[in-house]
Chain A
Amino acid sequence: MGVEGIGASVLRKEDRRFITGRGRYVDDMTVPGMKYAAFVRSPHAHARIKGIDAAAAKAMPGVIDVLEGSQLKADGIGNLICGWAVNSKDGSPMKMGAWPALAFETVRHVGQAVAVVVADTKAQARDAAEAVEIDYEVLPAVVEGPAALQDGAPQLHPEAPGNLVFDWEIGDAKATEEAFGRAAHVTKLDIVNNRLVPNPMEPRAALGVYDPAEEHYTVWTTSQNPHVARLVMSAFYNVAPEHKLRVIAPDVGGGFGSKIYIYPEEIVCLWASRKTGVPVKWTSDRTEAFLTDAHGRDHTTHVEAAFDADNKIIGMKVDTVANLGAYMSLFSSATPTYLYATLLSGQYDIPAIYANVKAVYTNTVPVDAYRGAGRPEATYVVERTMETAARELGVSPAELRRKNFIRSFPHQTPVIMCYDAGDFEASLDAGMKAADVSGFEGRRAEAQSRGKLRGLGMSCYIEACGIAPSKAVGSLGAGVGLWESAEVRVNPVGTIEILTGSHSHGQGHETTFAQLVSERFGLPVDNVQVIHGDTDKVQFGMGTYGSRSGAVGMSAIVKALDKVEAKAKKIAAHLLEAAEGDIVIENGEVKVAGTDRKLGWHEVALNAYTGHKLPDGMEPGLKEGAFYDPQNFTFPAGCYICEVEVDPDTGKTEIVQFVAADDFGRVINPLIVHGQVHGGLAQGIGQALLEGTRYDESGQLITASYMDYAMPRAWDLPMFTVSTTETLSPSNPLGMKGCGEAGAIGSPPAVINAITDAIGNNDLTMPATPEKVWRAIHAA
């Protein structure tokens, strides 16, 4: 490798513009004649709309128009959809309620858009939005998943009786019951995986522009997957034909999943631009973000694990209620099923697993994939269970895990996934060494002398990334294929452009993707430009989520680079009058191996474009594309060890050490990988200690600002100890597994296991706020 190739901690190219305030986000975009949208939103969690009176608003200064849902419907704009079909265990399809971009009959969560004002200024639009009078008949609301399933609960959608979206199962119920029948020990736990608000730094925004001359639409939007947005907006929402719609996602300031989905606002901005004849921009404020960005998690679970007399786990039963909120968001059905229950085997050889998941509607913000998407929920179930079982069985949590690790690969779990490679013991050993687990009891005693309760907890997670093989996800109900595409364009002067269907929302693609070129041809990363986020520039792509841009997106680039390399060698062989097999490319030079005959890379490139001396029959140019569809998911895994000190007087938890020993397969840029782990850990620790989304009984979100929703800050976190091992994935050419979500997946159970160890009470829910911990100490 060169100094900027694979494995080099190259500083992120994009950071220069980000940290000097020169990033360009949707809200930075302006076009001539641009006007502003403000949405009229429901103040009620559940209500029937009896009438909308926009007359006063329309007469206000600067107001161009006020548009309503009935107009949207009359124009043939389709309802929002869920793109992953999941069937109930009786074979019936999921029950999807109608979700119009602007509600005109019923509102089902606080914040749902009912009308939109377009005005000359943002302030005028907001003033007028407050003047739109809506006559609501307030209906009873339900906010908790299990409560929504009870008899007599308020009913949200006529399509879904009992608020039940689906009643899904996976695994072998009979084999699992049989295992429990011969169990020597059964561990049981009730678990709540708390609802989270994503809170990307950049709020969502959309700028819709309709050009009547070409009957063409452009939307700048905060999207992790602009091509999917174009496909869905054209094929399902009828906003514009696909070939007449350009979707541009410029710099995107974080997403964590919440910017995968196509929301009402971008649909409405495009439609409103056509209706009003002016470009229409909307930028979410933070309150709107709390009330409309898809939330994450919100599972209520009962788990039981059966162990034989030798402490081998022989069966697991899981019963989960997944709260999907008021509507089915784009991938909401997949998150609590195929992205969750398929990981319930964890790192362990469990012969029998059965899981039942009931997905329910409630009068809350729709829930969808959020950093980890199902895998954090699965890891929390498995790793809280293993730790609890170890305590009940009186054995060390590490040894119980070690005894039950999967040790031969490939390993077919009872829940679809086939793990292709891994070395779980290596991560466990690395983690325990880094955390100095053997010295823990001494540290606990020392803390006790200071009046503090010290605890240690671990979590051995596994997750599925690189989502993934199109055939596989298609057979499981996905409405799209999950391959990725790339194009590598060598310019006549030898500089290179990579066009990718992945799209960075903070991951550093402009750097890591360029490192592949540096590795291949020995060119500096500054000679490489990564182009993404624009459907007019990039061929097609599925976007960035599920830690797929490395394993899938970069694999497509590798395939395209293979083709470029092959053609460049043919050209060079012809120019140098050598055999193709003797040509090597390194340090920006194209050489005949074992001789001093060589060309500069730029000379080969220029020749490809002049076409003066190409082999007979060769097309000019040096540009190749590739699509890549992997054979399997990848399986990042690792061991996280958290050490805490709890103040028994206040219940406040301080994380004094956090060790992450991850196996991400091949690491391209350690600096970026460590950064991803740090960010993921902050989010996971945030979930464990701080972030609790709370609704009151009437369905008002009472944690709708940073005054009440606790985001993790630097001082809540310790210095992290991060290391990686590299067991290569056999499923892609680079052996990568993915690192974007691991931190958020693996850390919550480690934190809670540590606190419960410290306080001697296992009955503790996330977020473990000081008062909860204080009460648990005094209840123990």
Chain B
Amino acid sequence: MYQTEYKRAGSLDEAAQLVAASGGEGKYVSGGMTLIPTMKQRLASPSLLVDLRHVEGHKGIAVSGQTVTIKGGTTHAEIAASEELKGVAPGFAGLAQLIGDPAVRHMGTIGGSVANFDPAADYPAALLAMEATILTDKREVAASDFFLGLFETALDENEIVTGVRFEAPESSAYEKFRNPASRYAMCGVFVAKRGEGKVGVGVTGAGASGAFRWAEAESALSGRFDVSALDGLAVDEGEMISDLHGSSAYRANLVKVVAKRAAKKAGASGGPEVSGPKTPGGDAP
């Protein structure tokens, strides 16, 4: 790691002022789950880190009716464990439980993940599928207008993600196929059955431009919430990531397979029951 300076902001205003005064060399840090490893590898060298984790009021989950608001500094572990959230949007809480490992979940925050928009980050799939709103210190932006491309969002310079807001779907579920090395999503699909028969399908980890909504799958499932509605559909291979872990053809296959499983988990009819293998002589202790 190169030498850097660390400051703890007491308020979002102070944080923004500190970064603005750093002449373009400063960065916000929240959980630091991407930024710190990158700095340790000497691939990033901000002169100043402004820590948002101690900003008062930057943390917490509020459920009002079906409206869920999660503040940016809330950790994945807090989201996964929230009884209130599990009551209205268990699919979203379940997604948080699948992020990284326990250490990552206790450090990483939703605001940091949303602002970073890693192509394999989990939240964007759900936020897109639920047509969530991204809250910043300056404005509110629809998720589909916020997530623009690889590591690219609608955030202006020094703008801070202060939280997300969404209407809890009738039912929802997230399925993730992990990269065998990093355990990030090689393909993650969030299916949200919202009101009036509208179904959202968000896909992460597979798209060459980051998370995306799979429009054909959405309209198919909106017409008939049955796994077989996805038969015959396919995403465009040319728009999928191709790397040493999986070709674009393989990822295109994963999108469909994982979408079906997410739909099933979200309550869609049809499709095979999901059950684990049997161990000879019963399960191991």
Contact = CB atoms under 8 A, between A and B. Distances in A.
B41 interface: yes
Contacts of A702: 244
A709 B180 CA distance: 8
A775 B253 CA distance: 11
A705 B244 CA distance: 13
A771 B246 CA distance: 6
Contacts of B2: 123, 127
Given A123-B3, A435-B280, A694 B257 contact: no
Interface string B236-266: 0000000011110010011001000000000
Contacts of A4: none
A654 B279 CA distance: 11
Interface stretch (B155-163, B189-197, B270-278): B270-278
Contacts, number: 76
A645 interface: yes
Interface string A428-447: 00000001100100010011
Given A436-B281, A694-B244, A774-B250, A710 B180 contact: yes
B276 to A, nearest CB: 8
A447 B277 CA distance: 7
Contacts of B177: 650, 652, 770
A116 to B, nearest CB: 18
B279 A657 contact: yes
A643 B182 CA distance: 25
Contacts of A652: 177
Contact of A451 (B41, B246, B272): B272
A719 B285 CA distance: 9
Interface in B146-192: 177, 180-183
B244 A703 contact: yes
A452 interface: yes
B182 A706 contact: yes
Contacts of B257: 649-650
B279 A123 contact: no
Contact of B280 (A123, A657, A694, A771): A657
Nearest to B257: A649
A708 interface: yes
A439 B279 CA distance: 11
B244 A710 contact: no
A73 to B, nearest CB: 30
A719 B283 CA distance: 9
A649 B258 CA distance: 9
A710 B3 contact: no
Contacts of A447: 277-278
Contacts of A713: 183
A454 B278 CA distance: 11
A695 B135 CA distance: 43
Interface size, B (range): 20 to 34
B21 interface: no
B215 interface: no
Given A123-B1, A127-B2, A769-B245, A707 B280 contact: no
Contacts of A718: 279, 284
Contacts of A774: 250, 253
B277 A452 contact: yes
A408 interface: no
B153 to A, nearest CB: 22
Given A707-B182, A771-B250, A439 B280 contact: yes
Nearest to A450: B275
A130 B3 CA distance: 14
B250 to A, nearest CB: 4
Nearest to B177: A650
Instruction: Give the residue among A130, A451, A690, A770 with the most B Cβ atoms within 10 A.
Output: A770
Interface string A166-206: 00000000000000000000000000000000000000000
A709 to B, nearest CB: 6
Contacts of A705: 41
B173 to A, nearest CB: 17
Contacts of B245: 708, 769, 771
Interface in B38-85: 41-42
A713 B275 CA distance: 22
A287 interface: yes
B279 A710 contact: no
A690 B180 contact: yes
A645 B277 contact: yes
Interface in B1-44: 1-3, 41-42
Given A656-B277, A771-B246, A287 B284 contact: no
A656 B279 contact: yes
Given A123-B1, A127-B2, A708-B245, A654 B180 contact: no
Given A450-B275, A450-B277, 9 more contacts: A447-B277, A650-B253, A656-B279, A703-B244, A705-B41, A707-B182, A708-B182, A710-B180, A769-B180
Interface of B: 1-3, 41-42, 177, 180-183, 244-247, 250, 253-254, 257, 272-273, 275, 277-281, 284-285
5 contacts: A436-B281, A710-B181, A718-B279, A719-B284, A770-B250
Interface of A: 123, 126-127, 130, 287, 435-436, 439, 443, 446-447, 450-452, 454, 643, 645, 649-650, 652, 654, 656-657, 689-690, 694, 702-703, 705-711, 713, 718-719, 769-771, 774-775
